[in-house]
Amino acid sequence: MPELPEVETVVRDLRELLVGKQFAAIRCVRRDLRKPWNVDWNAILVGETVESIRRRGKWIVMHLTSSQELLFHLGMTGQLTVTKADAAILDHTHLLFDLANTDQQLRFRDIRRFGSATLFANAEAVEVFIGKTLGSEPFELTDKAFHTSVTATKRNLKAILLDQHVVAGVGNIYADEALFRAKLHPGKLGCDMTLAECKRLRKAIVEVLNHAIENRGSSIRNYVGGSGLKGGFQNEFRVYGRTGEPCPRCETPIEMVRLAQRSSHYCPQCQRAE
């Protein structure tokens, strides 16, 4: 699933390619997304211009001239890219947005169909919708607030980091990488964390995410940025997906355990269980 660095990369690419562009026509090729596209939106969106694009957690928000907003979620395999209008339409492409006075289209493709694209009346409606499930952005989260959230639960650290109410945008890959950087075992309970450990983990989260954004995210399966380019952070993984390989710090073989119904990769020497 695309996580914060991948979504941020898509947003940055699309800003360069879409802001100031007008929708000339919209076509729904297939509606079988997690939330079906409302075909009535096609006519509503014609003539709208993209004024800005932002990210909130793992969501992509396009603000339009009428103050309406398009909200996209990439699900597990979603791709939101700008391409030539005469390029072949790939299988599993759901939406085509023709861009006025250009030879380009914005295309939304999703192989596994867990993604979504929804039109909202305004920014307030978007915040009401996604604000119910999202906590603070990791770059805005304070040590004190993070410590309060972490120590209030008996869940393990992996489960806590995957909880979007605690920190928005972090998923399986970057949770593993942040815990390794912070030298904390993924199974450690939140209620057992000290303030110093929480500070170390919060800092590690930010550092890992920033490093991943610099590398355009991680392309493991289907992810590409808004311009169609792949990411490179998969070449920087320290523990994720490296079961049995030597730890980059101590050369102890990386291990994997199931936590919060997800695989968790860690070094048993650098991230000792207490």
Residues marked active site are found at: 2-3, 58, 262
- Supply the pTM of this predicted model: 0.95
Helices (H), the chain: 4-18, 40-45, 123-131, 143-151, 157-162, 172-182, 195-214
212: which 2 tokens? 């991943």
Q: Which fold has domain 143-266?
A: Helicase, Ruva Protein; domain 3 (1.10.8)
Instruction: Say how far apart CA 210 and CA 227 lie, in whole Å.
Output: 20
Is 252 within 8 Å of 42 (Cβ atoms)?
A: no
Please state whether 256 falls in left (phi above 0), alpha (psi between -120 and 50) or beta: beta
Place of tokens 């085509």: 96
Residues paired with 16 in a beta bridge: none
- CATH for 4-131 is 3.20.190.10
For 178-226, the pLDDT digits (tens) are: 999 999 999 999 999 999 999 999 999 999 999 999 999 998 877 889 9
The pLDDT tens digits of the residues spanning 21-68 come to 999 999 999 878 888 899 999 999 999 999 999 999 999 999 999 999
Q: Residue with structure tokens 């026509």?
A: 25
Q: Do 4-131 and 143-266 fold alike per CATH?
A: no
- Locate the domains of the chain by residue range: 4-131, 143-266
CA torsion angle 31 32 33 36 (round to 10):
50
